[in-house]
Amino acid sequence: MAYIARITTGLGVSFATISYLKAVSVWFEPRKFAFAASFLATAAMIGALCAQAPLAYLITLCGDWKMAMLLFSVASLLIAVVYYIVVRDFNPKQPEASSPNNQLKTLDALKEVIKNKNNWLLTFYVGLSFTAVDAFAGFWGNAYFREAYHISREEAASIISMIFIGMAIGSPIIGKLSEILDSRKGVMIFFHIIGTISLSFVLLTKTTATMSAILLFIFGLCLGIYMLSFAIGNRINPIIITATVAAFINTGEPILGAIFDPLIGYFLDWSWTGKYINKAGEVVSQYTSSSDIKYFELESYHFAFTTLVASMIASLVILVMIKDKKD
């Protein structure tokens, strides 16, 4: 039942990104698409932050996590009702983008998307550049910071949350900058390089908890460029297939993210020194009970995290290969 619930939740939220980007393409001129679309990332990161401390507080207030989740669900439903009432599909100033007479069949639209090489590059770019968020922030980061700086789970989570705060702030700033400069690819390359350097210091060296938080904020700020991928997709494809293009590009993140999570685990196992943490929290050299878990040293994490740095470098190479309409 839990698997079914997670699948249906995923199916339900998958339409949010696509419908938002389609609405932006209908109601905003192409030059302002990047800035308007960037607020999607801000909203998503605010949601991610709400799932941290605010959710924990609500659970404490309700005394039950089920009631807290129910309240979140009701709030989401109310927002959906407001969206349905306020947002309109048809824009008389851009009839070609919203008129039903100009729409393609699903298979025809998908064929148009697939045959454009740049759409594939954008998909892989988004997927590879987002692996650090999916794999590190979402899975391995907490354990890494607890081992590196001997801090609590909550303190480690607060460091990781700097990525989301950075993205929430950086995405609209970068979107506006790209609008002012009328440049997407150049802006993306510049911030991608800075973000990669910042992330590399966190993943491959031991600094301090405070410095790691600052560097992750910078990384998150720079990663706000990923929304410009959708802006490029909007420019290089016919406007009537904007939603299909956005959906196609958006598949890169979950697919590649699902690959890198176990890949990091594989490299951690490969460099494991054979030590365990027992029930008392002590590091021991022999397996004593079923409650023992593997203990990974800092060097093992650094070795495994080279995959994430490599993914950022690979995504930069792909970014250079992408052709914007003005290239």
pLDDT of 169 > 80? The answer is yes
Tell me whether residue 92 is in a domain: no
Model confidence band, residue 5 (pLDDT cutoffs 50, 70, 90)? low
Write down the pLDDT at residue 66.
85
CB 139 within 8 A of CB 261: yes
Q: How many domains does the chain have?
A: 1
φ and ψ of 116, to 5 deg: -90, 110
Model confidence band, residue 272 (pLDDT cutoffs 50, 70, 90)? confident
* DSSP string computed for 12-26: HHHHHHHHHHHHHHH
Write down the pLDDT at residue 17.
74
Point out the least confidently predicted range of 23-37, 122-136, 185-199. Answer: 23-37
Quick one: tokens of 107? 């298979």
Write down the pLDDT at residue 275.
73
pLDDT of 215 > 90? The answer is yes
Model confidence band, residue 327 (pLDDT cutoffs 50, 70, 90)? very low
CA distances from 214 to 43, 89, 144, 290 (A): 22, 41, 16, 38
Mean residue pLDDT of the chain comes to: 82
Tell me whether residue 200 is in a domain: yes
**171-193, pLDDT tens digit by residue?**
999 999 988 888 889 999 999 99
Tell me whether residue 298 is in a domain: yes
Tell me whether residue 115 is in a domain: yes
Task: Name the range with the highest mean pLDDT among 25-34, 76-85, 200-209, 295-304.
Answer: 200-209
User: Which helix (H) or strand (E) covers residue 293, if one does?
Assistant: strand 293-294
Model confidence band, residue 147 (pLDDT cutoffs 50, 70, 90)? confident
Tell me whether residue 244 is in a domain: yes
More confident residue, 42 or 277: 42
pLDDT of 289 > 90? The answer is no
Rounded to whole angstroms, the Cα distance separating 147 from 14 reads 35
Residue 193 belongs to domain with CATH number: 1.20.1250.20
Domain range for 131: 2-50+103-274+293-321
Tell me whether residue 108 is in a domain: yes
Tell me whether residue 93 is in a domain: no
- What is the percentage of the chain residues whose pLDDT exceeds 70? 84
pLDDT of 163 > 70? The answer is yes
Rounded to whole angstroms, the Cα distance separating 40 from 283 reads 44
SS (H, E, C) 28-83: CCHHHHHHHHHHHHHHHHHHHHHCCHHHHHHHHHHCCHHHHHHHHHHHHHHHHHHH
Write down the pLDDT at residue 197.
97
pLDDT of 104 > 60? The answer is no
Quick one: tokens of 231? 């802006």
Mean pLDDT (whole number) for 7-17: 67
More confident residue, 16 or 169: 169
Task: Name the range with the highest mean pLDDT among 216-220, 267-271, 279-283.
Answer: 216-220
More confident residue, 46 or 160: 160
pLDDT of 51 > 90? The answer is no
Rounded to whole angstroms, the Cα distance separating 138 from 257 reads 10
Tell me whether residue 201 is in a domain: yes
